[in-house]
């Protein structure tokens, strides 16, 4: 009897939860920035770039949703943004890269989202996993060049080889979602991405033997060691000196506005007369 009661309670809870299940499709528009070896002391105000994307969200119940997203944004950095006293401005490196990210996150509502009951605004936290592609470039004499193929830290001369331009990140952050009406939702979202790569900016470890590098690939050597450009004078060989910080992985950030439409089904708002979207729809079951 106790087992039967438990099953009945479980089924009733499942029925209540599934009654409010529905999906959304939406778009994202905002900005992106980065934290790493070329911007180690915070997000540089001059390096905000446009980010955009699309997503699908499935509202499991009043407190939880799952979202799949495809985002794209550019991140960039320049040692000219750093202070003279840090020594980083004289390093004279710069980069940009487009980030293409495919991710899945879970969203936890800090209050119940229950449209029928008039609870239409909810803050939420999210976390998940994402895979992304990046391709750092540097500006040199008015043109932009791909850096990974050049192996600017001597990767082509080491057993490790060149780093991959595919990597993994852990997205997490917060947002707020507002249901405008039965069809439309708007929101604001900010998310950080903790990556497992230190090469978003093509900077991580130590300078290679620049003199030898010059004899093998002068162009790559020029992009690896750019302090002589800053002083407009020949410099010594910095072999073995730190070019970046190998102890910290890079971060990137997306923040902006979201707009989505409800794709309601029989268990969602679509079949509630108060919220019905498609006139003339008939339940054939």
Instruction: Please say if the pLDDT value at position 11 is more than 50.
Output: no
Instruction: Please say if the pLDDT value at position 153 is more than 50.
Output: yes
Q: How many CB atoms are closer than 10 A to CB 202?
A: 30
pLDDT of residue 5: 46
Asked if residues 93 and 226 have their Cβ atoms less than 8 Å apart, the reply is: yes
For residue 174, give both structure tokens. 């917060």
pLDDT of residue 93: 97
pTM: 0.85
In this predicted model, what pLDDT tens digit does every residue of 83-106 receive, in sequence order? 888 889 999 999 999 999 999 999
In this predicted model, what pLDDT tens digit does every residue of 40-81 receive, in sequence order? 989 999 999 999 999 999 999 889 999 999 999 999 999 999
Instruction: Name all domains of the chain by residue range, CATH numbers in brackets.
Output: 21-138+162-197+249-271 (2.40.160.20)
pLDDT of residue 247: 93
pLDDT of residue 274: 59
How far, in Å, CA of 166 to CA of 99, rounded?
10
Output phi, psi for 176, to 5 deg.
-140, 140
Q: How far is CA 16 from the centre of its chain?
A: 34
Angle, CA 231 vertex, CA 95 and CA 162 arms, to 5°: 35
Q: How many CB atoms are closer than 10 A to CB 130?
A: 21
Q: Which residue has the tokens 């299940």?
A: 21
């Amino acid at each position: 009897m106790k087992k039967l009661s438990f099953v009945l309670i479980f089924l009733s809870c499942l029925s209540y939860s599934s009654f409010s299940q529905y999906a959304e499709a939406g778009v994202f528009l905002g900005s992106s920035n980065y934290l790493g070896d070329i911007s180690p002391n915070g997000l540089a105000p001059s390096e905000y770039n446009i980010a955009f994307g699309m997503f699908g969200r499935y509202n499991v119940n009043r407190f939880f949703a799952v979202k799949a997203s495809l985002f794209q944004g550019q991140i960039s950095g320049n040692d000219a943004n750093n202070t003279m006293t840090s020594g980083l401005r004289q390093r004279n490196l710069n980069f940009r890269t487009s980030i293409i990210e495919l991710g899945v996150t879970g969203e936890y509502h800090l209050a119940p989202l229950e449209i029928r009951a008039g609870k239409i605004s909810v803050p939420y936290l999210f976390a998940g996993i994402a895979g992304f592609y990046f391709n750092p470039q540097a500006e040199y004499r008015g043109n932009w060049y791909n850096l990974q193929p050049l192996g600017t830290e001597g990767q082509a001369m080491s057993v490790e080889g060149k780093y991959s331009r595919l990597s993994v990140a852990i997205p997490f952050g917060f947002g707020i979602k507002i249901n405008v009406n039965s069809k439309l939702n708007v929101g604001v979202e900010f998310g950080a991405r903790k990556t497992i790569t230190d090469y978003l900016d093509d900077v991580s470890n130590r300078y290679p033997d620049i003199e030898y590098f010059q004899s093998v690939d002068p162009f790559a050597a020029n992009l690896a060691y750019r302090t002589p450009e800053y002083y407009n004078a020949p410099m010594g060989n910095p072999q073995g000196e730190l070019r970046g910080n190998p102890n910290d992985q890079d971060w990137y950030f997306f923040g902006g506005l979201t707009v989505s439409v409800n794709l309601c089904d029989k268990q969602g708002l679509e079949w509630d007369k108060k919220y019905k979207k498609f006139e003339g729809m008939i339940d054939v079951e």
